[in-house]
Amino acid sequence: MLDEAQIETLVEQVMAELGQGERVRHGPSPLTITTHTPPSVGHPLKYGTNLFPDLDQAVAAARQAFFQLHELPLELREAMIAGD
C-alpha cells in the first residue's frame, strides 16, 4: 500500500506529465458565462441517413466538435449534460 508521500510524488509526476505543473483544486470557475450562441447548423443530411459522405470526414468533424466543446467552461458543459 502507498503512503501519503508516495501518493503525493505520483500525483506530482502525473501533473507534470500533463503539463499542469501543480495540483489544481476543483471549484467554481472564475469565468462567468451569461449567454452562449450555439454553433451554426451544418449542411443538411444529403448522404442518405448519413451526415458525412465517408468515415474520414465524420472523424474530422467529431475532432473539431470535441475541441469546440473542450473550450467551453465546465459549468456550461455540466448544464448541457443536465439538460438545463
Per-residue pLDDT tens for 9-40?
A: 888 887 777 775 445 555 555 555 555 566 66
- Is the predicted pLDDT of residue 80 greater than 80, yes or no? yes
Domain range enclosing 26 = 4-82
Cα distance between residue 63 and residue 66, in whole Å: 5
Cα distance between residue 38 and residue 68, in whole Å: 11
- Per the structure, the count of domains in the chain is 1
pTM of the model: 0.39
